[in-house]
Structure 1
Amino acid sequence: VSSVLCVREDLLDMPLANPDLILFTDGSSFYSEGQRFAGYAVTSQWDIIEAASLPGNWGAQAAELYALARACQLATGKTVSIYTDSHYAFGVIPCHIHLWRFCGFQTATGKPIQHVTLVHRLLNALQAPRTVAIVHCRAHTRENTPVTQGNALADQATKAAAIQPLALPTLALASTPFLPL
Structure 2
Amino acid sequence: MAQATFVDYPNWNVSNQDNWVSVFRELDSEIPCTPLNTLFLHLFVAVDEYSVGCCKEIIRTVFKAVPELHFIFLIVPSYMSLGSTLITVFEQVGNIPSLTYDEDFAVHICHRHSHYPQLHVRNARVEDHDDLMPIFMRYDTLLKETYGEYFLAELIEAQDEENHAVVCEVSCVFSLL
The structure where strand makes up a greater share of residues is: 2
The structure where helix makes up a greater share of residues is: 1
- Structure 1 length-normalised TM: 0.25
- Structure 2 length-normalised TM: 0.25
Structure possessing the higher relative contact order (Cα contacts under 8 Å, 6 or more residues apart): 1
**Structure whose CA Rg is larger:** 2
